[in-house]
Structure 1
Amino acid sequence: MDEKREIRNIASQVIADEEKRTVEGYALLFGVSSDGLPFEEVIERGALDGVIEKSDVFALMNHSQSRGILARCNQGNGSLSLSVDSKGLKYRFEAPKTALGDELLENIRRGEINESSFCFDVEKDTWEKKSDGTWKRTVSKVGNLYDISPVYNAAYSKTSVYMRGKEQAEAELTRQNSENLNEYYSNIEKSLNI
């Protein structure tokens, strides 16, 4: 998988109408703090503006194409319907009449699959260190959306780009603190005429 792609899972109900084979849910929620990551993350409203229209998005089970796809939305068109509302990114598709589609419907019916996930990369974000020493990441612009996935187990992925982004923010904070400390000592030396 591309090192810049990130996966996030949310606890949101996945619903299936077995007669019509319709599956729908929310893959992403705006303004909701993450849990399960080594930092807090919030995706702002507006972060998906224009993203669906330029992305090729697959509906996959557990982010895996190895057994096939469930649906697809290529630049806003296809068997996967994606829409953005005030709550987040909503998806809807008809489960294919395949072994994978049947497995998905059966596992939703049994309650084995009841959460959703999404795979994306980030165009614009900010990091801030909170007063309790933890980090908060605010995603203001998603670059691309790669897939939405009904999942068995919602466990956040710790991708290298996130850790790298956090490390860059920590390094910048350390640099700023060092500059402030050097300036402080320089001012003391000037006042003492050293």
Structure 2
Amino acid sequence: MADNVISGYAVRFNDITTIGQSFRERISPGAFTESLKRNDIVALIGHDTGRVLGRVSAGTLTLREDRIGLWFSLDVDKSTPSGQEALGTVGRGDVKGCSFAGQFLAEDWQDGGGRLPLRTVTEIDLYEITLTAFPAYETTDASVRKENNASAARERLLRKAEAAMRLRGIH
């Protein structure tokens, strides 16, 4: 069994969180659709660009939107300090949430009607997802996934081949 894959939901659509006690926020389904087509998104630890865990173009990070949210699968390199840290802290459950970074391109605001105003984000230019102990959205999740070695190896090869084709402009 391979034990170097971390997966989960970096975002769950339509869940509401409070941002800085100033407003409430939710992410709409489809908010990442365009950036998933064009961006070379990375996975990090704690938004630290010096601790890269995976990248779409390398075939080590897979992202997709489904009816629940933005799902990810991360093939972590156990030979790196960041990879060891991620597998260890996520595997133990010390780090079990996610966050993301990008530019918000489209949003709608609603009066809170006595509560904090609500921002609904409808389009995001996503740059990165990150593993974090303190996610703004508590419903995000990350866990170490156990899988069959043969199927995991096939999946990794397929992701790397698809990433190489995308770099050449082949879809």
- Answering whether residue 75 of structure 2 is matched by residue 94 of structure 1, we say yes
- Could you tell me the TM-score, scaled by structure 1's length? 0.64
Q: Give the match for residue 89 of structure 2.
A: 107
Q: Which runs of 4+ in 1 moved over 3 A?
A: none
Report SS of the residue matched to 1:60: strand
- 2:60–2:76: 8 Å Cα contact kept in structure 1? no
Offset, 1:133: 4.9
Alignment of 1:1-80 (within 5 A): 19-37=2-20, 38-66=22-50, 68-74=51-57, 78-80=59-61
Deviation at 1:88, TM superposition (A): 0.5
Higher relative contact order (CA 8 A, sep 6+): 2
User: Deviations for 1:56-109, whole angstroms, at most 9, x for unmatched residues?
Assistant: 21110001022x3100014xx621100110000001011112111011111112
Higher strand share: 2
* 1:118-137 paired onto structure 2 within 5 Å: 118-137=100-119
Counterparts of 2:98 and 2:109, CA distance in 1: 25
Give me the whole-angstrom Cα distance separating, in 2, the residues matched to 1:123 and 1:153.
Answer: 25
Aligned length: 135
Partner residue in 1 for 2:165: none
Question: 1:55: Cα distance to partner?
Answer: 1.3
Task: With the length of structure 2 as denominator, give the TM-score of the two structures.
Answer: 0.72
Rounded to whole Å, the distance in 2 between the matches of 1:122 and 1:113 is 26
Alignment of 1:85 onto 2:66: yes
| Alpha-carbon distance between aligned partners in 2 of 1:141 and 1:65, rounded to the nearest angstrom | 23
The answer (yes or no) to whether the contact 1:20–1:94 under 8 Å persists in 2 is: no
Q: Mark the structure with the bigger radius of gyration.
A: 1
